[in-house]
Each structure stands twice: as structure tokens, then as C-alpha cells.
Amino acid sequence: MKIIAGLGNPGTGYADNRHNIGFMCVSAFAKQHRITFDKKQGQARVGQGEIAGTQVLLARPQTYMNSSGQAVDYLVKRYKLNLVDLVVIHDDLDLPLGKIRIRRGGGTGGHHGIESIIDWLESPDFVRVRIGIGRPVTPQISSESSVIDFVLSNFTDEEQQVITPVISRVGEVLYSLVAAGLEPTMNKYNRNGEPAPADLKNEPEK
């Protein structure tokens, strides 16, 4: 079994925020595979189905981003999951808009949702699908308040044109993770037309 959790904040007011790209991707993937989020387990909305011969549980934590670990930890323990079979989709400020990176383990990159998951699991050894949203272009680029405002605002029309096809591509990535596994998926999708590092698992944290 695999658990795929998309991170975001619950509620219609947050639905189109940059910070909710994880929700957007897991919801699109669910729709593609006719899986509905028709149950609540712990503090997550979940849907379950079979993809490429594997049972998959899709999850949207309802704890708000900074407490995502509580919902994810419950599911991991409930299903006695090996962490290599946990996939977390989240936004990444340090990747250019629309860039996708897959890795297992590593640090938080300043992402509070990932920090919460690592704290609750007491391990960083789960798979992450990181989706670049870029950083705010402001004089106070390092200001925490400007970053919060940025991630909690919606994609611009121009950005949406980039992100829409990326959501479909993330669906391909998720299918590949289920059907082919981590290494083949990293080798295929981390390249984006460029030479891949020899060991993508050890890609430096940005």
C-alpha cells in the first residue's frame, strides 16, 4: 500500500493559494483515477482505490499546514506503513515556478508542513514531490511576513498558465511512483531535459 498526501490548508478561502498546490495535485490525481475523498480518518479527508495493481490511499490533511504531521502520522501508524511508501506533495519556495523535484529524505527547506511531518514521524525518510512556486519579488524578499503573504495568495493569471499543466505532470509522477518505484521516477522526472545528478537522493537541499 502507498499513502499519497497533498499538503494545504482546508477551507474555500485557501483553495487557490500557492501554499495549496499539494491539495490541487492530489485532488486532480484522485479525479483522474475516480477516487473520491469520501471518508475521514483521523484528521484527514481520504479516498482509497487501486492504481497499477497497488492499493493507494490519497489524503488531504485537515489540520492546517503547520500541523500536517498529526494527520499524516495517524495514517502511517494506522496502516503500519513503511516510510518509503509515504509520498508527500508540497510547494517549494526555492524551486522556480513549475519545477518538479522528487526525493526521499532531506531537510525541511523551511517548510513548516514538512517540519511538522518530520517531527511527528521522528524521521525524514519519506518521499517528497516538491513543486516550485518561486519567491516573492519584493525589496523585503527575506521578510517572513512577505513570504507568508506570498504563499497565502493565489497564483496570478500568468502563473496559472504555468501551473495548470504542471498539475497534470505531477499526476504522471505519482502514477510512476506507484507503478515503477522511486528510482525510475527520479531518473525520469528530475531531469526535465537536463543531465541528472549521479545520485538524485543526495541532491543538496536548497
In this structure, the number of other CB atoms found within 10 A of the CB of residue 62 comes to 18
CA atoms within 13 A on the CB side of 156: 7
User: Grid coordinates standing for 90?
Assistant: 508540497
Q: How confident is the model at residue 44 (pLDDT cuts 50, 70, 90)?
A: very high
Model confidence pLDDT, tens digit, residues 77-102: 999 999 999 999 999 999 999 999 99
Q: Which backbone phi and psi does 102 adopt, to 5 degrees? A: -115, 135
pLDDT above 90 (res 201) = no
Give me the CATH number covering residue 65: 3.40.50.1470
Alpha carbon distance 8, 16 (integer Å):
10
Task: Please give the tally of structural domains in the chain.
Answer: 1
Contact 109, 118 (CB under 8 A): no
Domain ranges, residue 15? 2-202
Element of type H or E holding 32: helix 21-32
List, by residue number, the catalytic residues. Answer: 19
